[in-house]
Amino acid sequence: MSDPQGNPEESDRRRKKGNRTQSALLMLSSAEIVSRPCALLRSIIVQRTIGPELLGISAPMLIIAEFLERVFSMHPGMAIVQDPKGGSGHYRRTMQTITAIRGVIFGVVIILLSVPLAVLNGLDSPIYIAGFMVIGLVPVIRGFAHIDIQRQFRNRQYGGVTKTQVACEVGGLLIAVLLCLSLKLLWPGEKHPENGFWIPLLVRVGTAGILVWVSFKLARRSFRCGWNRSDAMRILLFLAPLAAAGLIVFLSTQGPRQLISSAGYLFDRYDFTKLDLGYFTNAIFFATIPATVGGKIIQGSWAPKLSRLRDEPERFSHSFATMQRFSYSLGMAGLVVLSAGNSWIQVLFGEEYAPAGAIVFVLAYRTAVRLGTTGVRCTFLSLGHSKYVMYMNMGGLLGLVGSAWVIINGGSLLEIAFWITMGEFLSSIMGNLLVTRCTKSLRAWDIWVVPILLLLVGAVIGYFEKSMLEGLNHFLVIFISIFLAGCCLGGSMLIFPQIRPKRMKSMKP
């Protein structure tokens, strides 16, 4: 038999696949570079306009919206990209129908439960009940988004996905700016007008509308609904574990915030106010930015590739090792940046949000681990074991249980952040144990040793960074944190040259 490595056609085919992977990484990274600053700027403008207390009032409604985004993130894209039959027309038509029906059902349920939700969160006023009803429009609108973008993504055509992402974030920023200006013009004498809690809610509704409009503009197939019983059963069986996993992730990440909001109703504890909830919401938002950005880049770049290599153990193992090292290198860099959370919060959001800085430092470790385990989640989905994602995320429920214990015993927000972080560590351990069960071709060095070493380096640098730079100018601290994160990422690329871009590896002195 001829050696495939010596076959020019085989070598050329592999080179083209590698170039497509690098092109995908570049395109998705570029989309994040544009969209993430827009999302951050939007949040800065909104949170500075309404202040921490009104942010705490809108937080329970935003939690519902984030729950819907968590569920819809397990949307058609997962099934269409990962399922071998996801490319067929009748499969997509059935998926379009299921998506629309699910959106309508979610919206109706939220509207019907708006009064109980308001009472649960201590917001039993007609204006706040109306806020919960408005959030019910989000799933209805998103349910009618065209899923042809996901078909393009399956075929490794990333233009539609990146344009949609950028358009939604830029459009959301414009909506937020217009709403904030209108609020200031209508109530010029108030620093934080009491109706300001509407702004983040209306931004969510507007962003959902932009998503639907852009999805139709970029679609290359007509919008068609249909129904195939076998496809419907296949889709539901594929998405059920992912929906359960999304619910578990929601409970482990947003559950503590919900407990803080409803502590008075559930536990008869009134130690936490809406102001405290605003601080915690701000910290959660900022601390999850690196995981959100890095997770999308990793999943978009490696998920399609791993799906193709599932029947080639040796190449699959090599790709997993590269992805794992890249994921935890990003996690290490994110940990170093977030260790300066106090300076970041005060510079970006203002001194009134200063108490959130200490919470960000604790949540930085959770973010690093969450970002690192993105590769394990991609591996589960590529191998068709979506249920393992659900099992893995169950470890995060430790954060929910620990938060309830803290609230009952009159603890602090830092203790709640600590338990959320511990839940993520437990989830990562469970994921590493499960991935060894999925395939025997993966090495313990890549699963355990490399992640632990990278996280330890990030933790040590972050600790000394916080200790030694405390009290310095905030802008100087931010600059040093970015510089140290860049050094960490650059050092990781020197130690693990396979995670460097191909052009960088081919450069000769």
Contacting residues for 331 by C-beta, under 8 A, at least 6 apart: 290, 294, 367, 368, 369, 370, 371, 372, 454, 455, 458
The answer to whether position 13 is within a domain reads no
Q: Are residues 187 and 224 in the same domain?
A: yes
The answer to whether position 263 is within a domain reads no
Domain residue limits at 440 = 273-501
At 260, list the tokens. Answer: 């803080």
The answer to whether position 6 is within a domain reads no
Q: Are residues 144 and 208 in the same domain?
A: yes
Question: Would you state the pLDDT for residue 118?
Answer: 95
Residue 509: pLDDT over 50 = no
The answer to whether position 265 is within a domain reads no
DSSP per position, 254-300: THHHHHHHTHHHHH---S--HHHHHHHHHHHHHHTHHHHHHHHHHHH
pLDDT tens-digit profile of 398-446? 999 999 999 999 999 999 999 999 999 999 999 999 998 887 788 889 8
Question: Would you state the pLDDT for residue 297?
Answer: 79
- Mean pLDDT, residues 175-195: 88
pLDDT band with cut points at 50, 70 and 90 for residue 1: very low
Q: Are residues 281 and 235 in the same domain?
A: no
- Enter the pTM of the model: 0.86
Q: Are residues 293 and 188 in the same domain?
A: no
Buried b (16+ CB within 10 A) or exposed e, 449-473: ebbeebbebbbebbeebbeebeeee
Q: Are residues 464 and 358 in the same domain?
A: yes
pLDDT tens-digit profile of 299-341? 777 777 777 777 788 888 888 989 999 999 999 999 999 999 9
Q: Are residues 92 and 233 in the same domain?
A: yes
Q: Are residues 151 and 239 in the same domain?
A: yes
Query: Which sign does the torsion angle of CA 326, 40, 273, 360 carry?
Result: positive
Axis crossing angle, helix 159-186 with helix 8-72, rounded to the nearest 10: 30
Cα Rg, the chain, nearest whole Å: 23
DSSP per position, 418-429: HHHHHHHHHHHH
* Start-to-end CA span in the chain (Å): 38
The answer to whether position 389 is within a domain reads yes
- Mean pLDDT, residues 206-218: 93
Question: Would you state the pLDDT for residue 16?
Answer: 53
pLDDT tens-digit profile of 238-250? 777 767 777 787 8
DSSP label at residue 463: H
Q: Above pLDDT 90, what percent of the chain?
A: 50
**Least confident range of 108-112, 158-162, 326-330, 491-495:** 158-162
Instruction: Note whether 498 and 322 are within 8 A (CB).
Output: yes
More confident residue, 282 or 301: 282
pLDDT band with cut points at 50, 70 and 90 for residue 41: very high
Query: Which sign does the torsion angle of CA 325, 326, 329, 334 carry?
Result: negative
Q: Above pLDDT 70, what percent of the chain?
A: 87
Query: Which sign does the torsion angle of CA 191, 197, 203, 209 carry?
Result: negative
Q: In whole angstroms, give the CA distance from residue 47 to residue 456.
A: 34
Residue 468: pLDDT over 70 = yes
- Mean pLDDT, residues 390-405: 92
Residue that is last in its domain, among 220, 252, 284? 252
Question: Would you state the pLDDT for residue 432?
Answer: 92
Buried b (16+ CB within 10 A) or exposed e, 347-373: bbbeebbebbbbbbbbbbbbbbbbbbb
The answer to whether position 79 is within a domain reads yes
The answer to whether position 268 is within a domain reads no
The answer to whether position 144 is within a domain reads yes
pLDDT band with cut points at 50, 70 and 90 for residue 70: low
Q: Are residues 60 and 198 in the same domain?
A: yes
Q: Are residues 233 and 304 in the same domain?
A: no
Q: Are residues 207 and 69 in the same domain?
A: yes
Residue that is last in its domain, among 202, 218, 252? 252
- Taking phi over 0 as left and psi of -120 to 50 as alpha, with beta for the rest, 125 belongs to beta
Of 142, 192, 416, residue with least CA distance to 284: 416
Q: How many domains does the chain have?
A: 2
Query: Which sign does the torsion angle of CA 32, 37, 38, 43 carry?
Result: positive
Q: Are residues 197 and 61 in the same domain?
A: yes
At 174, list the tokens. Answer: 């414009």
Question: Would you state the pLDDT for residue 83?
Answer: 58
